[in-house]
Chains A and B, each alone.
Chain A
Amino acid sequence: MRRRMLPRLPVLFGALIVLLWVLCAVLAPWLAPFDPLHSLQPLVPPLSDAGAGRMFWLGTDMLGRDILSRLIFGARAVIVWAGFATATAYVIGIAGGLVAGFYRGHADRLLSFLANVVLSFPVLVLYILIITKVGASGFNIVLAVTFASAPAIFRIVRALALDLRERDFVLAAISQGETPLRIMVLDMLPNAAGPLIVDACLRLGYTTITIGVLGFLGLGLPPPTPDWGGMVNEGRPLAFAFPHLILFPCIAISSLMLGLSLLADGLRDGEQRPLKSTGTNLP
């Protein structure tokens, strides 16, 4: 029993962290001790008394806003925008991948070439290029992330679709005269779901990091929005005297990404288990 539980420990840990941040995002207005945009006392160190029986658990920033509250509301901003951006990238990547895998030939060659072109950019170069041009806002981040990560998703879906295209059930559906759209969406996509879910978990993390990095570079969500990367960027000039300004947002983003990676790892193991070891799973 102990040996069976031990490998699962990291996965549970990961799931717990992710759950914690999702709860923070959902329950932000009730969990946050203060208004994240309201100026109170500037540059208070962590664990200071805020009066009226309340505490600045993680201190306040240079504009006097409570850091804990900003982190909690920041979880909301990050999860909403990262989720939105990842979802858009998936819709486009899946559509392209299914079309390339189903029709093959010229459609595949063209789409693969386009994907290769975009993927030959170092991602951050692409983001800087797009964001400095179209300006920093939530929707532009979605745009940039979609543009940069849809080709990677496309590649995965295409590889899976090329394989599925040869399976008997797809060939049967074709000879039955089902429409290509129906075959792609109802027959092929569900069979590609497993690996895609694992990838989605990781990609959600990458997008979180992307939003953080863009915020750090001053290209993220526009200022009053509590954004973890942006908090690091704002706090950097004062970091020597007040390290708490940047330390806590960094811990927040690292922990969320760690949670998502561990979760993806666990899901991937689960994905592979039935294929690799038959029978050994029995208690």
Chain B
Amino acid sequence: MKTPILARLVEIAGTMLAVSFIVYLVLEANSGDVAVKVLGPFSTEDQRALWMHQNGYDAPFLWRYLEWLARFAVGDWGMSTHYRVPVWQLLPERLGRTAMLAGATLVVMIPVSFSLGILAGMAKGSVADRIISFFCVATTSIPEFASSVFLAAIFVFWLGVLPGASSMTSGFAIRELVLPTLVLALYSAGYLARITRASMVEVMEAPYIRAAMMRGVPPARLVLGHALRNALVAPVTVIMLQIPWLLSGVIVVEVFFAYRGFGSLLYEAGLNSDIALIEACAMISVAVVLATQFLSDLIYAWLNPRLNRKTARADAAGIPSETPAAGAAP
């Protein structure tokens, strides 16, 4: 019981290390850029060289990476060259806002997709099933920026009931959270509902359900009392795996609605070649992804004691089954 968890943690640490190296390598590609961004386009070649030298950019690559890694590990995440404050000062506020957005999304998404999935999976091939299945394909097909436009067109432009920007300049406003939440929930609800449906269909065909049906158990009790618990094992695991997906969507939605969260911070950092900030943001997003994968493994094993840990991991890691792996989605 203990060793697989330990092995998994070592694996996660290895992945983090490899990721940090890749990120550093990608950012290294033309570090001359940084000097231009900091000193402006009219700086001379000498000024840039001097700045690079002063900030330690002329040391060998591997040495700089190790130096950075050591400092990162002890919590010194460097200065943001764009905002000109230490990186750690920027992050808590932005992360908090994004966590709020993600939390609101999950609160909307989970009940909606579970009910839709159960409703569709209860009677495979029924009219309700077909309508819901089509709805799911449709919502997952519309990219976040397009559904942002559509929803904004309806609620901001046409009905005029919601604000079109969520910059929260005058304090927290729940109204400004509605549209971003709706866009994110709409996009991921379809996928989660499909998983729930597939799982529900499988359970409804299981012999013990047939036996209960033949015994004359009323449909409501059949679904709620017998099928539901087993049908929700897979979807609950998938919720965790949704989070990396949410993170990608968050960037688009935050940029569209000018919501000042983690996603827009990462985007701005990328546009401004703000290396220290990008490094920190990338590492945080990867840490979030790996942590959720780990949690999802644990939950799966806990909900499904019959399975040993090895198969649980293979399943949760997204080895292709009937549904596309969460990691494979945009």
Distance between Cα atoms of A173 and B244 in the complex (Å): 42
Q: Tell me whether A254 and B319 are in contact in the complex, defined as CB-CB below 8 angstroms, given that A7-B130, A232-B149, A240-B164 are known contacts.
A: no
Distance between Cα atoms of A256 and B183 in the complex (Å): 19
Interface check B193, CB cutoff 8 A: no
Interface check A174, CB cutoff 8 A: no
Q: Tell me whether A229 and B26 are in contact in the complex, defined as CB-CB below 8 angstroms, given that A213-B252, A216-B252 are known contacts.
A: no
User: Are the C-beta atoms of A133 and B29 separated by less than 8 Å?
Assistant: yes
Tell me the smallest distance from the CB of B278 to a CB of chain A, in Å.
7
User: Are the C-beta atoms of A206 and B15 separated by less than 8 Å?
Assistant: no
Q: Which residues between 230 and 267 of chain A lie within 8 Å of chain B, taking CB atoms? A: 232, 239-240, 243, 246-247, 250-251, 253-254, 257-258, 260-262, 265
User: Are the C-beta atoms of B19 and A121 separated by less than 8 Å?
Assistant: yes
Interface check B161, CB cutoff 8 A: no
The interface-forming segment of B41-49, B140-148, B221-229 is B140-148
Proximity bits, A13-43, B CB within 8 Å = 1, else 0: 0000000000000000000000000000000
User: Are the C-beta atoms of A152 and B143 separated by less than 8 Å?
Assistant: no
User: Are the C-beta atoms of B15 and A121 separated by less than 8 Å?
Assistant: no
B141, B152, B266, B281, most chain A CB atoms within 10 A? B141
User: Are the C-beta atoms of A261 and B164 separated by less than 8 Å?
Assistant: no
| Residues on B with beta carbons closer than 8 Å to the beta carbon of A253 | 143, 146
A132: which of B15, B142, B273 is its contact (CB, 8 Å)?
B273
Q: Tell me whether A216 and B145 are in contact in the complex, defined as CB-CB below 8 angstroms, given that A128-B251, A152-B328, A195-B320 are known contacts.
A: yes
Q: Tell me whether A155 and B320 are in contact in the complex, defined as CB-CB below 8 angstroms, given that A121-B285, A205-B141, A206-B330 are known contacts.
A: yes
Interface check B308, CB cutoff 8 A: no
- A262: nearest chain-B partner, CB-CB: B137
A134: which of B29, B147, B248, B285 is its contact (CB, 8 Å)?
B29
User: Are the C-beta atoms of B248 and A122 separated by less than 8 Å?
Assistant: yes
- B273: nearest chain-A partner, CB-CB: A132
Proximity bits, A49-78, B CB within 8 Å = 1, else 0: 000000000000000000000000000000
State the interface size on chain B (CB cutoff 8 A): 62
User: Are the C-beta atoms of A121 and B282 separated by less than 8 Å?
Assistant: yes
User: Are the C-beta atoms of A125 and B252 separated by less than 8 Å?
Assistant: no
Distance between Cα atoms of A191 and B153 in the complex (Å): 47
User: Are the C-beta atoms of B289 and A121 separated by less than 8 Å?
Assistant: yes
Q: Tell me whether A257 and B266 are in contact in the complex, defined as CB-CB below 8 angstroms, given that A123-B248, A130-B26, A216-B252 are known contacts.
A: no
Distance between Cα atoms of A133 and B25 in the complex (Å): 11
| Residues on B with beta carbons closer than 8 Å to the beta carbon of A156 | 320, 328
Interface check B65, CB cutoff 8 A: no
Q: Which 9 A-B pairs have the closest CB atoms?
A: A124-B248, A250-B146, A152-B328, A132-B270, A122-B247, A258-B141, A128-B270, A257-B141, A254-B142
Question: 12 other contacts beyond A7-B125, A155-B325, with CB at 8 A cut-off?
Answer: A113-B15, A116-B15, A125-B266, A129-B282, A155-B320, A216-B252, A216-B256, A217-B267, A253-B146, A257-B143, A265-B137, A272-B322
Jot down 18 A-B pairs with beta carbons below 8 A, ordered by A. A6-B130, A116-B317, A120-B244, A120-B286, A124-B249, A125-B247, A125-B266, A128-B266, A132-B270, A133-B29, A152-B325, A152-B328, A159-B320, A199-B328, A203-B328, A254-B146, A254-B147, A260-B141
Q: Taking beta carbons and an 8 Å cutoff, which residues of B are in contact with A?
A: 14-15, 18-19, 22-23, 26-27, 29-30, 125, 130, 134, 137-138, 140-147, 149-150, 152-153, 157, 164, 244-245, 247-249, 251-252, 255-256, 266-267, 270-271, 273, 278, 281-282, 285-286, 289-290, 293, 317-320, 322, 324-325, 327-330
